[in-house]
């Protein structure tokens, strides 16, 4: 089985898959008031539907072996790890056929909002340190029912993420 080393997320490495922003340590230009600094539009997304904010709780597996992957044909997805750093695996859009030879795994610090572009292969985030990760999944409402293709990976496509 092939292994993929999880690496710290960086703008250059993650650019083909989407964007991210560390929400608890904002940087750059801010609109300032007497008692506040507002950092507008750090990540944005279009939607013709209402947006759903859904918590996910993921237990840390003994080994991070990836046996499934999913994509959303026309929909972006955002994930915000709340209580631990997360491991996020992604692979490029590929017209419905998994391309795990091109998969990457990233270590995403907690409180970092990640936006994956439409059609990017991924699945649930995994806890990096704790026994369990709580994260917020942000998607147009009912994407999981209307625009979600989950694929079981065959033995040759499966991979293990290592730290």
Q: What is the mean pLDDT of residues 10-35?
A: 97
Task: Kindly report, residue by residue over 121-159, the tens digit of the pLDDT.
Answer: 999 999 999 999 999 999 999 999 999 999 999 999 999
Burial of 56 (0-12, 13-18, 19+ CB in 10 A): middle
Confidence of residue 49 (pLDDT cuts 50, 70, 90): confident
Asked whether the beta carbons of 53 and 143 are under 8 A apart, the reply is no
Domains and CATH numbers, the chain: 2-162 (2.60.120.480)
pLDDT surpasses 90 at 114: yes
Query: Sorting pLDDT into bands at 50, 70 and 90, what band is 33?
Result: very high
Q: Terminus-to-terminus CA distance in the chain, angstroms?
A: 16
Can you tell me the mean pLDDT for 41-61? 95
Give the separation between CA 60 and CA 128, rounded to whole angstroms. Answer: 8
């Amino acid at each position: 089985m092939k292994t993929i080393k999880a690496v710290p997320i960086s703008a250059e490495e993650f650019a083909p898959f989407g964007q991210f922003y560390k929400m608890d340590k904002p940087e750059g230009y801010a609109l300032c008031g007497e008692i506040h600094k507002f950092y507008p539009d750090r990540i944005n997304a279009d939607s013709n539907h209402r947006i759903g904010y859904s918590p996910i709780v993921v237990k840390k597996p003994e080994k991070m072996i990836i046996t499934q992957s999913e994509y959303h044909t026309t929909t972006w997805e955002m994930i915000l790890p709340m209580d631990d750093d997360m491991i996020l695996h992604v692979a490029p859009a590929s017209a419905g056929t998994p391309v795990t030879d091109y998969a990457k795994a990233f270590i995403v610090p907690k409180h970092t909002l990640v936006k994956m572009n439409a059609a990017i292969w991924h699945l649930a985030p995994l806890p990096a340190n704790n026994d369990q990760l709580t994260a917020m999944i942000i998607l147009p409402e009912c994407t999981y029912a209307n625009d979600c293709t989950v694929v079981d990976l065959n033995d040759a496509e499966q991979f293990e993420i290592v730290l």
